[in-house]
Every structure is written in structure tokens, then in C-alpha cells.
């Protein structure tokens, strides 16, 4: 993949990528009515009522002290659209709840296409935990996810690629070749970041705190396993803890099923924004543990949750485990055990007439 000049420069200013991309997008929008019209059409496709006379400003501070990346304002609605630019950094405390509480017509997250499958469930989970209720099921189109939260409030996530493709197409049709070039420069950066290319290391990424946290995730797995064993819910007889390429694993048996409780960086980076996972498999009389249609049937209530609490991946039935924030380790372990006990209850209840 050929790297654009802007992509090369921004890629090497590590830690400033989101700000640089946001400023570049604001520049394109504010110098081109065609670009603003294209974004307006895209925003309206979510179902939100978006005024046509939008202007865009970065880092707009409100009474809540938060600074969204980009705000689209009209004369009648000073915060009609709030746009948050994301690449691979985690969500902040303000995202999305503080911005939803401002009452925009649309809160729009921009992210790499490869991150949308993990970012969107995390946004939905935080929104529901904060007391918002979906007025309609989220609509998932190609690289665009939308949920209707109240009469006029919508939240959406879209890939940088789809957004910039829409802008480039509109700008090219209008003959604004200079703006097309600007959009291609920004697209080059986003393509580079979407490729999972190796990013230059930052000093904070070499901090011992990262290593300590990684070990603590393993300890949480061990502590949760010990608690389940002490309650007589699972057996770990002749099953050993196992380090693997993608993380750390504890194997256990629960009746007719096998459990694999794990730290899994592959699932974390591609499926859901959590490091801890439970895989549920069947235990045949002979052969390896594998996919269990019966376990899938019994765990089907998890699939109805929003976001889904059960993910089918090849021969795996995966339960993403949510970690509570800003609490002591004992409370984290307790929360993990509570989620595992719910799985155990569903598996046991499904066997009853």
C-alpha cells in the first residue's frame, strides 16, 4: 500500500493522529460546501433530523468540560451533530454518555472499518448501562451502525473509509480537484491505520504498568476459576493452566460441557473490547472438544441481548466478559464470576423439562 505524504507525517507523530485527522476533516468540510452537503446526506441516512446549514468547529467545550473532536452547528442548533474521531485509542469517560447528554440530533463516531465490530458493541453497552433505551434496533449497514435512542437522538458509528469515499465521490463530481486531493491525503492516513500496520512505539507503551496489568488479567482468570471450583460449579481435574500466543487459558469441565476461560488478545482486537472471554464447547465421548449445538440452544438468551452476549465463531461459542471500571480487584473477580454463573445457570436450566 502506497503511503500518502499526510499519512506518512501523521503516522509518525504518534499520539497526535486523531487530532491531526480531525483537523484535516474540519478543514475539508469548512472549505467545501460540496463536502458539507455529502456529510449532511450521510448523516440524514441515519434517520436523524440534520439541519443543512452546518459549520464545523473542533474542540468545542461546554459546561460539562468535555471537548468533542468536531461539532456541526447551525444557527438554530449549536450542537446538531457531534463527531468523535477514533482510531485505536480506547473510549474516554465522556464517550458516549457526556456527549449524548448534550442532546445532539446525532452523535457520530468515526473509526477504522476493522474496529467497528468491537467499538459498536462497547458504545451500545455503555449507552444502555447509562439508562438510555433503544427506540428501534440498531441498523447495521456496510460500515455504518445506527441506533435510535429517543425521539430526536441518534447515535451512529461509521468507518473513515465510507465517510471519505462519500466525500471524494461528491467532490470529484463537482470538479473540485483540490479538495479531492485533500480528501485522498486523509484517506491515505486512514487506510494505513486500518491495515493494523505496526505503529511506532510510544514511551508509555513500554511502562511496567502495562506488563503488570497483563499479569493481573491472568490473576483474575485464576481467581475466578478458583471461586467456581470452590462452589462446586466446575472441575479442573487433570486440566492445567496454559499460556498461548493469544493469551492465557484455564480449562475446566461443567457437566457435559467444557469451558475455556481465557485472556484472548485476538478476540479482544477483533470481536469485542474486552480481554476476558469464555468459550463453551461440547465434550464428546471420543475426540476433541468442539462445537455443541445443545450448548448453543441453551445459551440462546444471551444472543438476544443488546449487544449480543454470545458470539459464534467457527466451532467456538464465545461469551465476552465485561470488566467493571474503577473498582478493587475483588469486585472485578466477583463480577466475572457472576457472569460465569449466569452461563452455568443457562446451561443447567436448558436440560430441565
pLDDT at 196 over 60: no
Query: Average pLDDT in the 224-250 region?
Result: 94
In this predicted structure, what is the pLDDT of residue 133?
84
Query: Average pLDDT in the 323-345 region?
Result: 96
Q: How far out from the chain centre does Cα 201 lie?
A: 22
Using DSSP, state whether 43 is helix, strand or coil: helix
Lowest-confidence region among 33-37, 61-65, 213-217, 282-286: 61-65
pLDDT at 202 over 90: no
pLDDT in tens, 279-307: 999 987 767 889 999 999 999 999 999 88
Helix (H) or strand (E) holding 282: strand 276-282
Lowest-confidence region among 69-83, 131-145, 187-201, 245-259: 187-201
Tell me the C-alpha distance between 47 and 136, whole Å: 11
Q: How far out from the chain centre does Cα 89 lie?
A: 10
CB atoms inside a 10 Å sphere around CB 202: 10
All cell numbers assigned to 87: 482510531
Q: Please report where in the chains the cell 465517510 appears, as a residue.
A: 163
Q: Please report where in the chains the cell 486531493 appears, as a residue.
A: 181
Q: Please report where in the chains the cell 469486585 appears, as a residue.
A: 331
pLDDT at 130 over 60: yes
Which bin fits 147, alpha (ψ -120 to 50), beta or left (φ > 0)? beta
Write down the pTM of the prediction. Answer: 0.81
All cell numbers assigned to 10: 501523521
In this predicted structure, what is the pLDDT of residue 351?
55
pLDDT at 216 over 90: yes
Tell me the C-alpha distance between 35 and 89, whole Å: 27
φ and ψ at residue 57, rounded to 5 degrees = -140, 140
pLDDT in tens, 164-179: 999 999 999 999 998 8
pLDDT at 147 over 90: yes
Amino acid at each position: 500500500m502506497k503511503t500518502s505524504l499526510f499519512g506518512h507525517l501523521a503516522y509518525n507523530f504518534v499520539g497526535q493522529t486523531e487530532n491531526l485527522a480531525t483537523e484535516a476533516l474540519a478543514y475539508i468540510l469548512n472549505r467545501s460546501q460540496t463536502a458539507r452537503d455529502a456529510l449532511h446526506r450521510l448523516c440524514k441516512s441515519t434517520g436523524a433530523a440534520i439541519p443543512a446549514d452546518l459549520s464545523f468547529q473542533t474542540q468545542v467545550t461546554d459546561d460539562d468540560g468535555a471537548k468533542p473532536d468536531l461539532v456541526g452547528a447551525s444557527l438554530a442548533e449549536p450542537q446538531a451533530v457531534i463527531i468523535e474521531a477514533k482510531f485505536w485509542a480506547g473510549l474516554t469517560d465522556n464517550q458516549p454518555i457526556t456527549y449524548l447528554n448534550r442532546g445532539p440530533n446525532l452523535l457520530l463516531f468515526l473509526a477504522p472499518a476493522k474496529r467497528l465490530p468491537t467499538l459498536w458493541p462497547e458504545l451500545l453497552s455503555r449507552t444502555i448501562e447509562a439508562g438510555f433505551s433503544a427506540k428501534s434496533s440498531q441498523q447495521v449497514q456496510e460500515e455504518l451502525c445506527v441506533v435510535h435512542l429517543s425521539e430526536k437522538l441518534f447515535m451512529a458509528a461509521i468507518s473513515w473509509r465510507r465517510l471519505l469515499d462519500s466525500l471524494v465521490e461528491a467532490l470529484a463530481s463537482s470538479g473540485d480537484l483540490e479538495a479531492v486531493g485533500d480528501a485522498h491525503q486523509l484517506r491515505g492516513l486512514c487506510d494505513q491505520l486500518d491495515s493494523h500496520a505496526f505503529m511506532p512505539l510510544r514511551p508509555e507503551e513500554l511502562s511496567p504498568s502495562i506488563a503488570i496489568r497483563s499479569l493481573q488479567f491472568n490473576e483474575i482468570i485464576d481467581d475466578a476459576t478458583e471461586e467456581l471450583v470452590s462452589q462446586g460449579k466446575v472441575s479442573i481435574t487433570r486440566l492445567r493452566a496454559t499460556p498461548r500466543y493469544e493469551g492465557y487459558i484455564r480449562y475446566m469441565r461443567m457437566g457435559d460441557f467444557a469451558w475455556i476461560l481465557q485472556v484472548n488478545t485476538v478476540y479482544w482486537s477483533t470481536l469485542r473490547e474486552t480481554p476476558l472471554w469464555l468459550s463453551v464447547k461440547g465434550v464428546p465421548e471420543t475426540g476433541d472438544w468442539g462445537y455443541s449445538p445443545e450448548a448453543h440452544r441453551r445459551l440462546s438468551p444471551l444472543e438476544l441481548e443488546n449487544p449480543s452476549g454470545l458470539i459464534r465463531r467457527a466451532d467456538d461459542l464465545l461469551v465476552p466478559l465485561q470488566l467493571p471500571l474503577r473498582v478493587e480487584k475483588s469486585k472485578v473477580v466477583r463480577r466475572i464470576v457472576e457472569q460465569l454463573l449466569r452461563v452455568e445457570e443457562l446451561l443447567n436450566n436448558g436440560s430441565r423439562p
